[in-house]
Structure 1
Amino acid sequence: MTSKKLTPYFPLASGWRLVLAAGFVLFVFGFIYLNYLFDEPPGFDLTVVLLLILMGWATWEVIHQFLRRTRTRGLWRILWAVGLGVLTFDALYFVLKWVDHWVLGSEPPLLFHMLFSTVMGGLVSAVVTGISLLYSWRKRLAMSVLENERLAREQSQAQLKALQRHLDPHFLFNSFNTLYGLLRTAPEQAETFLLSLGELYRYITQVQDQQVVPAATEWALVQHYVQLLRMRFGEGLVVDARMISADLEDCYVPPMALQQLVENAVKHNQLSVEDPLWVEIKVEQEYWVVTNPRKPKEAAMPSTMTGLSNLQQRYQFLTDAPVDIESEEHQFTVSIPLLTISEGPTEKHTAHADIIG
């Protein structure tokens, strides 16, 4: 069970404030006694100032403790606080005035004195109540801002995880379609495909709750995924990868981002051994660029681009850099940002072509 530590209103804890107040009272009355010893009391003005400080302090404490503990709200809360402050100030003034009368021989408290005390107490109480309420409001506002930030952060993380998990059923459905096709056309490859699919899914379960993964790790996954696709489509699919490992150093992407682009290219386009589908993957100006020709499948439903919308939303949680989608008449290109955790100079090398398969 987590306990909440209450922060005192003043820098000192309540017990220490009482000790300090008691010491201050003794100090003030020491001055009063010192005045009594002399025919012409030295520093009487200082004594008056100290007494006023003591009265103001006590009034502040009473109002502060009332505002902390009361459940009253609105105007009544303010009126009660000011009223208690006035009563505290008047009571202290009345007591100190009698002490002054007994010790120094001044006149006893009169109606004029009490009216003056009430007016002064009202002013002090109004100021103290205003300051206390302002402090309390600013404190609640700061806590509200922190709470809203925490809720927004938790909501963003929940939305991001939900978007990531949307990949799971979609990818599983397409994988079973591929396995079904192999069982019909190449049963001897079905077992190999199933084992490879298990390895691929093991990777998915490891990264599905991560916001980003190393780009090199994602590329290794895509190479594995392309091999699975080629077990079904054979020479009907060619992936032209124009990059080297140096292009991916210190770079990160959302998990399954590149795999999803390759999957979309295969899902929405015709491919055959006679007319293979060429998918080009390259690194260009801190972007991973995937390009494929537009060869829509016959009688296919128009694409809703739900997968790309999902990917764009995932990137919005991570960076201001946009996911660039270019849909031309004969070509479709998607560019996703390569993210960096720490900026620094990187050595770039000349890229070479790597034809998978």
Structure 2
Amino acid sequence: MPSPLPIKSLIRLNWLLVSTFTAIISLYFIFLLDEAPLYKVFYMAMTALGISLVAFVNVRILILLARKYSARGKVFRRYRYFFTYTASAAAYVMLAPAFDYIEHKSNLFPFPVYLIIFLVSGILVNTVIVLLQDFVILQADKAHADLELSQIKTAHAEATNLLLKQQIHPHFLFNALNTLKALYRKDPCAGDNYIVHLANFLRASVYNHAAKTSSLADELALLLDYLEMQKIRFGSALNCIIDLPADILNDRYLPSFSLQPLLENAIKHNELTQQSPLIINIFCSEDRIVVSNTLKKKNLNVTSTYHGLANLAERYSLLSGDEVIINENANTFSVSIRLLNNEYSDHRG
């Protein structure tokens, strides 16, 4: 969408032009022109009047033409040049008799020549004004284009972020319903307990559906519901140790649904037995939160390997421009993400 004409900027430019040209002419009249003081004041006043007429008539013509034609079209430019140059020439030709009345220059050369001098002066002044106004309009167009590009990038990032988040829920829900079905066959009480935590998890998912970030406290609450569901399923084969300072829970933020996928990945890709339990540690290290687990990969190939982790890394990059740090050795696998300081800031600064 084309940007509107920067009328306020053009008016400020006009006043700047009038002030600047008048000041320059004033210096010439005061120090170089050997005339009576009254004549000098007259020359300065007429100079300011001539430039003001051309500059402000130009703006008025722009406003009138913009109501009917596209300000960036050929017809607009053609009519603009025709009317502004005609108006500027007419303005200066009308000023010629006043100057002649004071100076009597027509005694030195024919009055028609005198008119031609003013006509050329009007054209030159209008050319300078048109060029400067075009520069202001070009700068306004560039600023408008930059703003639109920024808005498009923001909208794209938000849409992508939302799409990536939506990819998590069907995957999780499919696994949860299968687990719930198996639990009700073996232990209805455990199934009831599981469905309570599942309801809490889904309620938080719906409530924070469009949120880009969540407080660490909210992410931890979501994680705990998911963790309880998995403990019902795996029992002592799963051991999760959470050590997070209480004073940062409500003051620091993470991308929404960022801790749960990390826990899900650890469970999904490692063997869990009572003899060799999966141990997961969640703690803070400087300004990052770390999720680390013992590594004992399943022998069977798992579909969508690290789907949740790749999803989180892309969402985190869109949100903050930062990277998710992954470390893996023979015994442990860990993921760390930087805690965010402000819920509503750009996070890219």
TM-score band by shorter chain is 0.7 to 0.9
Higher deviation after alignment, 230-239 or 98-107: 98-107
Counterpart residue identity of residue 227, structure 1 = E
Change (3 A) 1:96 1:268: closer
Distance 1:110 1:191, change over 3 A: same
Q: Distance in 2 between matches of 1:285 and 1:98?
A: 81
Determine the C-alpha separation between the residues in 1 that align with 2:176 and 2:153.
35
CA distance in 2, matches of 1:296, 1:77: 69
Displacement of 1:188: 3.1
Pairing 1:59–2:54 present = yes
Structure 1 position 209, deviation (Å): 1.9
Give CA-to-partner distance per residue, 1:88-132, whole Å, 9 cap, x none.
Answer: 344334434445667997749722112212221221111011111
**Correspondences of 1:23-38 after superposition (within 5 Å):** none
For residue 186 of structure 1, what is the aligned residue in structure 2? 187
Aligned length: 314
Unmatched 5+ residue regions in structure 2? 16-34, 344-349
Q: TM-score, normalised by structure 1?
A: 0.76
Q: Match of 1:43, SS?
A: helix
| Structure 1 vs Structure 2 CA RMSD | 3.3
Asked if the contact 1:239/1:279 (under 8 Å) is kept, the reply is: yes
Contact 1:269 1:297 in 2 (8 A): yes
Q: Say whether the 8 Å CA contact 1:62–1:84 is kept in structure 2.
A: no
Superposition deviation, residue 7 in structure 1: 4.7
User: What TM-score, normalized by structure 2, do the two folds share?
Assistant: 0.77
Q: Is 1:48 paired with 2:43?
A: yes
Partner of 1:280: 281
Shift of 1:83: 4.8
**In 2, Cα distance between equivalents of 1:102 and 1:290:** 90
Once structures 1 and 2 are overlaid, which stretch shifts more, 204-213 or 131-140? 204-213
- Summarize deviations over 1:201-252 as a string: whole Å, max 9, x none: 1122122322222212322322222111111112221112344524646222
Residues 319, 101 of structure 1: CA spacing in aligned structure 2 closer, same or farther, 3 A cutoff?
closer
SS at match of 2:200: helix
Identify if the C-alpha distance between structure 1 residues 246 and 61 changes in structure 2 by more than 3 Å, giving closer, same or farther. closer
Match of 2:86 in 1: 87
- Segments of 5+ residues of structure 1 without an aligned counterpart are 18-39, 343-357
3-state SS, counterpart of residue 275 of structure 1 = coil
1:289 equivalent to 2:284? Answer no
Which is richer in helix? 2
SS at match of 2:299: coil
What are the superposed Cα offsets for residues 298-335 of structure 1, whole Å, 9 maximum, x if unpaired?
Answer: 33236532211111122223334431111223321111
Distance 1:81 1:110, change over 3 A: farther
Same amino acid, percent of matched pairs: 27
Structure 2 distance, partners of 1:80, 1:6, is 19
CA distance in 2, matches of 1:5, 1:138: 11
> Which residue in the other structure is 2:208 paired with?
207
Q: In 2, are the aligned partners of 1:163 and 1:310 still within 8 Å (CA)?
A: yes
Alignment partner of 1:132: what SS?
helix
Map 1:1-357 to 2 at 5 A. 7-8=7-8, 9-10=10-11, 43-68=38-63, 69=65, 71=69, 81-98=80-97, 107=106, 110-246=111-247, 248=249, 250-301=251-302, 304-341=305-342
